[in-house]
Amino acid sequence: MADHLHLLIGPREGNLVDILSRWKSYTGHILRKNGLKEPCWQRGFYDHALRNEEDIQKVAEYIVNNPIRKGLVDNWREYPYSWHRWM
């Protein structure tokens, strides 16, 4: 999405706050190196814990269909930044 990002991840080690902080720092550095002048990432993030495989698949489907709901594409496969293993 042009104004936000969805990630569905399950850290094997560490905690989510540290992992996302490092990822935002790394990607922010790359974006600045490629000409971005203003901040890219918000300071915080919204997280939601999932408890079972069924919930994970439903959330993944919601995420990849987000560009359709925004009117950017007619099919999630047309959006170049969408993917999940169940579709």
User: pTM for the whole thing?
Assistant: 0.69
- pLDDT on residue 71: 93
Give the pLDDT of residue 57: 85
pLDDT at 2: 64
For 39, how many CA atoms within 13 A lie in the half-sphere containing its CB? 4
Running DSSP on this structure, what letter comes out for residue 73?
A: -
**81, two tokens:** 């930044």
